[in-house]
Amino acid sequence: SQTIHQWPATLVQPVGSPLSLECTVEGTSNPNLYWYRQAAGRGLQLLFYSVGIGQISSEVPQNLSASRPQDRQFILSSKKLLLSDSGFYLCAWSTPLGEQYFGPGTRLTVT
Amino acid sequence: QKEVEQDPGPLSVPEGAIVSLNCTYSNSAFQYFMWYRQYSRKGPELLMYTYSSGNKEDGRFTAQVDKSSKYISLFIRDSQPSDSATYLCAMRRNAGNNRKLIWGLGTSLAVNP
């Protein structure tokens, strides 16, 4: 069966510090991968998606970037965090039919 | 106008009630429809997945799609306190390799014992 991992679970970082969040998927090959952010009390905002190694599409201009160095690894990064980057970050993978399955999420607080 | 509209609630019902959650959408190209449940501080969990119009039942949950009205529903029978969560609808078109989903904002549900 497929599983998706995200770490860390919780992160508190000062403004201006770098960020690296990692997501890995097991039990499937060549999945589509997605990074979402969910602000408190708000819906899911798609940040990036990837249909293959090295293929990244950005949905909104922002302070973040994504990379996919391996088939089942997806990384979200920032060089300098802003207060507005705080939120709940979710990684997901999708089946060929489009169902998306989510990881446990990373709660980021920028202070 | 958002592509997908969902009443944020909160919706509060007594245990055992039938719950009806709804989304409307504007893009007639949507073909695949999903309902997710999200507990506080957790990732969303896929509950129901339907293609095109019709009903789909899974235990206490029934998903209904009415493409002519651009309206989807999730019914929960015999609701339990453990059903207290935020319910998100999502949908997508048939075309496109990216399989991106368009999301509702979610409805917060509280089932009171």
Domains in chain B (CATH in brackets) are: 4-112 (2.60.40.10)
What is the per-residue pLDDT for A41?
67
Q: Kindly state whether B58 is in contact with chain A, defined as any CB-CB distance less than 8 angstroms.
A: no
What is the per-residue pLDDT for B65?
96
pLDDT band at A46 (very low <50, low <70, confident <90, very high): very high
Distance (Å) from the C-alpha of residue B3 to the closest C-alpha of chain A? 13
What is the per-residue pLDDT for A63?
87
Residue A64 has pLDDT above 80, yes or no: yes
A chain contacts of residue B43, beta-carbon cutoff 8 Å: 90, 92, 102-105
Chain B's closest residue to A95, CA to CA, is B99
Give me the total of CB pairs closer than 8 Å, taking one residue from chain A and one from chain B: 51
Among 2.60.40.10, 2.40.30.10, 3.90.1010.10, 2.60.40.420, what is the CATH number of A3-110?
Answer: 2.60.40.10
Q: A77 phi and psi, to 5 degrees?
A: -135, 160
What is the per-residue pLDDT for B95?
66
Q: Out of A44, A49, A105, whose CB is closest to B103? A: A44
pLDDT tens figures, B24-39: 999 999 999 999 999 9
| 3-state DSSP of chain B | CCCEECCCCCEEEECCCCEEEEEEECCCCEEEEEEEEECCCCCCEEEEEEECCEEEEECCEEEEEECCCCEEEEEECCCCHHHCEEEEEEEEECCCCCCCCEECCCEEEEEEC
What is the per-residue pLDDT for A43?
84
Higher pLDDT, A94 or A40: A94
